Amino acid sequence: MAGEDAGAARYPGLAGEGAPYLGLAGEGALYLALGALFSGLSLRKILKNEVKFQDASLCVLPALLLLEALCYAFLPPGLGLSVFSVACGFYYIALPVRRMLPAAGKSVLVTGCDSGLGHALAKHLDKQGLLVFAGVLNRNGPGAEELRRACSPNLCLIQLDVTNSEEITAAHCEISGRVKDAGLWALVHNAGVLVYVADGELLPVNVYKQCMEVNFLGVVQVTKMFMPLLRKAKGRLVTISSMAGLNPIPGFAAYAASKAAVTMFCAVMRQDLFKWGVKVSSIHPSGFKTNIFGSREHCSIQAQDLLENLKPDVRDDYGEDYLNTLKDLHHEMLTTSSSNISPVLEDAYHALLAQRPYSTYNPGTFAYLIPLIFRCFPLWFYDTIAKQMFPIHRAILPRSLRTFHNNYKTD
Ligand SMILES: NC(=O)c1ccc[n+]([C@@H]2O[C@H](COP(=O)([O-])OP(=O)(O)OC[C@H]3O[C@@H](n4cnc5c(N)ncnc54)[C@H](OP(=O)(O)O)[C@@H]3O)[C@@H](O)[C@H]2O)c1
């Protein structure tokens, strides 16, 4: 048979009498069957356990397909099939399994629950049966009122400005008195501010300070205070960072720098706390519709502050019309953000209660893709994409650049 001749030519050493010989068609069919069986089993496990496509183990799949082709092309049938089967077996065992710990009896402190993601997370965790300590900036504000109204009596409101040492100490006293020897299962750093989006040169220094104080130093202070309680429970430290902490986004110099700082803080804490059995995760959402972009009134106040603090030559170079368009960016970002915040809630829940939580989560549209492009592709390629995606690049040119372009054109 032609197939047998070809097979004998491929593996001359095995063509002799008594050697196991399958024939090319039989060998191909075995590879196909093995591949199909393995793919089916893996797919079932992936769907059942909701393994995310961003999980590193899924990137191994194409490598396995390549291995299958190489085994088929270059190894004798018995050896090739054995190598491929062993590789598939290892991969299947290593695929993560979504096993959740029981929520009952576990306590969690979430900061920044007055509005947005923290507010929704506090409600979600309360519904799942956790004992929630909801940190709020204003215990008598509308966000706190709504939590009182909508949640179970188990939810406990805690006055907590993460930049205020006295409030942090008082919150710690109250929580340690309640959880006693069980410790605190989890701390979710959610409180955060964006303040204002503008070119890094234009942002007032106090915007940088505000971002650092809330988004970074607030996290550090609160972590240090609650660490003994977390270690006691061998619990979880979860931080809502941002996609902006992983890749540069034009206009986000202050916010992104503070989120990059907090991202690295969490990454190091993960290593430091390993020995204590405390698991650390950071969540890097893309855009979700919340109060983070501020109201029109907030943007006008920030724009006014920015204008008043600019040196005359800088104001001249950028021009008032350019500065005015910046105000609209917040509104544009809000309208293009997703109003479905459930991906963030699901990831936070996984980080809190999965037996094997991930160290990073990337909920939201493009939240995994954009940092991946930044890491894996040349910078010019990332910059081209960023120009299309982020609105500050679509604002008009600063005044003196427009003048330069016009002069250049007429010359
Ligand atoms: N929404 C997004 O697209 C997005 C994307 C990536 C990352 N994030 C991050 O997600 C987290 C939650 O933001 P969000 O989108 O839900 O915005 P948000 O609605 O503005 O919520 C932020 C919360 O933090 C509170 N807060 C501000 N300063 C605080 C302080 N010093 N101490 C304690 N609480 C403070 C705010 O209180 P007030 O309401 O009283 O100001 C508010 O409740 C933030 O860390 C943010 O950086 C959001």
DSSP bridge pairs for 354: 100
Kindly state whether residues 153 and 224 are assigned to the same domain.
yes
Cβ(245) – ligand 1 distance below 6 Å: no
114 and 56 in a common domain: no
In a domain, 150, yes or no: yes
Specify burial of residue 12 (Cβ count, 10 A radius: 0-12, 13-18, 19+).
Answer: exposed
Ligand 1 contacts CB of residue 256 (under 6 A) = no
What type of residue sits at position 343?
Answer: P
Question: Residue 133 sits in a domain of what CATH number?
Answer: 3.40.50.720
Total domain count for the chain?
2
- Is residue 99 situated within a structural domain? no
Say how many Å lie between the CA of residue 168 and the centre of ligand 1. 17
Q: Does residue 219 sit in the same domain as residue 362?
A: yes
Amino acid letter, 203: L
213 and 77 together in one domain: no
Say if ligand 1 is within 6 A of residue 325 CB. no
pLDDT score for 407: 62
| 18 plus 127 within the same structural domain | no
| Pick from 359, 352, 360, 293: nearest CA to 327 | 293
- Asked whether 221 lines ligand 1 (CB < 6 A), one says no
If one residue of 110, 124, 137 were mutated to test the ligand 1 pocket, choosing by the most ligand atoms within 8 A of its CB, it would be 137
Task: Determine the Cα–Cα distance for residues 346 and 363; give it in Å rounded to an integer.
Answer: 9
Tokens of 8: 């004998």
Domain presence at residue 164: yes
Decide if 248 contacts 196 (C-beta within 8 A): no
Of 63, 94, 125, which marks where a domain is finished? 94
Residue range(s) defining the domain that contains residue 371: 107-394
Coarse DSSP helix, strand, coil percentages of the chain, rounded to the nearest 5 percent: 65, 10, 30
Contact status, residue 118 vs residue 142, Cβ threshold 8 Å:
no
Long-range contacts of 22-27 (CB under 8 A, 24+ apart): 22/77, 27/72, 27/77, 27/80, 27/81
Residue 376 and residue 239 in one domain:
yes
> For atom 1 of ligand 1, which residue has the closest CA?
288
Tell whether ligand 1 has an atom less than 6 A from the beta carbon of residue 112.
Answer: yes
Q: C-alpha angle with apex 177: 174 to 182, nearest 5 degrees?
A: 125
pLDDT for residue 17: 46
**Residue 338 in contact with ligand 1 by CB distance below 6 A:** no
Tell me if 402 is assigned to some domain: no
Q: Which atom of ligand 1 is nearest to the CA of 293?
A: 20
Q: Which of 35, 69, 94 is the last residue in one of the domains?
A: 94
What pLDDT does 233 receive? Answer: 98
* Spacing, Cα 127 to ligand 1 middle (Å): 21
User: Same domain, yes or no, for 139 and 259?
Assistant: yes
Q: What residue's CA is closest to ligand 1, atom 29?
A: 191
Does 399 map to a domain? no
Q: Is position 403 within any domain?
A: no
**Is residue 306 domain-shared with residue 349, that is, in the same domain?**
yes
Q: Does 378 map to a domain?
A: yes
- Distance, CA 108 to ligand 1 centroid (Å)? 18
Q: Are residues 124 and 49 in the same domain?
A: no
- How far is ligand 1, taken at its centre, from the CA of residue 235, in Å? 23
Whether ligand 1 lies within 6 angstroms of the CB of 344 is answered as no
Edge-to-edge strand list for the sheet holding 279-283: 156-159, 131-136, 107-110, 186-189, 236-240, 279-283, 360-361
- Closest ligand 1 atom, residue 243 Cα: 6
Pick the atom of ligand 1 nearest to 288's CA. Answer: 3
Which residues form the catalytic set?
Answer: 255
- Residues 179 and 219 grouped into a single domain: yes
Question: Is residue 161 domain-shared with residue 310, that is, in the same domain?
Answer: yes
| pLDDT < 50: residue spans in the chain | 1-9, 11-20
> Do 119 and 87 fall within a single domain?
no
330: tokens are 């917040």
Number of Cβ atoms within 10 Å of the Cβ of 99 = 10
The predicted pLDDT at position 218 comes to 98
**Which residues does 386 contact at the CB level (< 8 Å), separation at least 6?**
247, 248, 249, 250, 370, 393
**Contact (CB, 8 A) for 197 and 253:** no
Q: For residue 15, what pLDDT is reported? A: 44
